């Protein structure tokens, strides 16, 4: 029983976490001063954090500035950005954290490190490296948080209705009736660079076939007429026009 209860709690926690993702938020609030610094925007880190979040696609504001009404009236529509510094003798280490309005962690990135000796360069490099895991995460704002409820706000572009254009029904081309002649004997195919030549038992060349992009379909020439050789219902035919009349000669071909 305890095992099932534990499994239920884990699934519930995972479900809650999965529902609360960065895709639920359009806005991020950035502090003007991080807790581990003594000055506002020290080393330009706060402005850089804002810029990197905007590059990701968020709409970003400093948390103590005048905010748009939709955030000022409900700050749960925005995430709060923060940085965690890990003290080191020769390494600057920063971690990016995004929290909801209740302090729950929505996203925590991997540590970004720098071994630069100069503080400004070191903190800037560490911050950019801290953003690497966020940049690898796909982001597309899909849901807006209102209080504790999630309201879907997907934008749908509705094109203006275009006037109806009558569409003509496809015209079925009638099949041309052909005069069919029977095969006069077996022809043997000899491969050439571009297709085959068909010879009879004399041996004499009767037809030259040129390959096309379609299987079992050749451009054909018998020295007097140009046409096509194609396979229909398992049988070969040489079709060409003579005196404006379609002729279809049945062939027996051995490849």
Which pLDDT score, from 0 to 100, does residue 153 have? 44
Per residue in 78-112, pLDDT tens?
Answer: 999 999 999 888 899 999 999 999 999 999 999 99
pLDDT at 248 over 90: yes
172 phi and psi, to 5 degrees? -80, 115
Q: Are strands 92-99 and 78-86 parallel, antiparallel or unpaired?
A: antiparallel
Strand (E) positions, the chain? Answer: 27-30, 59-62, 78-86, 92-99, 105-108, 112-114, 143-146, 149-152, 179-181, 186-191, 195-199, 205-211, 217-221, 226-232, 235-242, 245-254
Sequence ranges of the chain with CATH classification 3.40.50: 21-152
- Contact indicator for 102, 80 with CB cutoff of 8 Å: no
Which pLDDT score, from 0 to 100, does residue 6 have? 43
- Contact indicator for 22, 79 with CB cutoff of 8 Å: yes
CA distances from 187 to 130, 214, 237 (A): 76, 22, 12
Per residue in 199-208, pLDDT tens?
Answer: 998 888 999 9
CATH class of the region 21-152: alpha beta
Task: Identify the CA nearest to 210 among candidates 202, 221, 199.
Answer: 221
- Polymer length in residues for the chain: 255
* Higher per-residue pLDDT: 102 or 144: 102
Per residue in 225-246, pLDDT tens?
Answer: 899 999 998 999 999 998 889 9
Q: Could you count the other beta carbons within 10 Å of the beta carbon of residue 108?
A: 14
Average pLDDT of the chain to the nearest whole number:
82
Per residue in 149-192, pLDDT tens?
Answer: 444 444 334 344 445 555 454 555 566 678 888 888 899 999 98
Per residue in 129-141, pLDDT tens?
Answer: 999 999 998 998 8
- Contact indicator for 255, 187 with CB cutoff of 8 Å: no
- Contact indicator for 126, 94 with CB cutoff of 8 Å: yes
What average pLDDT does this structure show over 49-60? Answer: 93
- Contact indicator for 27, 54 with CB cutoff of 8 Å: no
Which pLDDT score, from 0 to 100, does residue 158 have? 39
Confidence band, pLDDT 50/70/90 cuts, at residue 128: very high
């Amino acid at each position: 029983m305890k095992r099932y209860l534990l499994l239920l709690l884990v699934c519930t926690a995972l479900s809650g976490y999965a529902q609360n993702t960065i895709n639920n938020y359009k806005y991020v609030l950035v502090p003007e001063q991080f807790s581990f610094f003594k000055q506002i925007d020290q080393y330009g880190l706060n402005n850089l954090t804002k810029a990197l979040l905007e590059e990701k696609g968020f709409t970003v504001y400093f948390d103590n500035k005048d905010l748009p009404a939709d955030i000022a009236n409900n700050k749960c529509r925005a995430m709060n950005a923060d940085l965690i510094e890990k003290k080191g003798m020769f390494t600057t280490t920063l971690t990016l954290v995004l929290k909801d309005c209740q302090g729950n962690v929505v996203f925590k990135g991997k540590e970004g490190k720098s071994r630069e000796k100069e503080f400004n360069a070191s903190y800037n490099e560490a911050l950019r490296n801290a953003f690497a895991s966020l940049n690898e995460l796909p982001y597309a704002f899909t849901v807006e948080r209102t209080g504790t409820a999630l309201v879907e706000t997907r934008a749908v572009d509705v094109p203006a209705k275009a006037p109806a254009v009558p569409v003509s029904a496809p015209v079925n081309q009638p099949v041309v009736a052909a005069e069919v002649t029977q095969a006069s004997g077996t022809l043997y195919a000899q491969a050439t660079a571009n297709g085959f030549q068909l010879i009879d038992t004399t041996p004499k060349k009767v037809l030259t076939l040129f390959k096309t992009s379609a299987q079992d379909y050749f451009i054909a020439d018998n020295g007097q007429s140009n046409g096509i050789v194609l396979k229909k219902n398992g049988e070969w035919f040489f079709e060409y026009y003579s005196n404006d009349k379609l002729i279809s000669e049945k062939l027996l071909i051995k490849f």
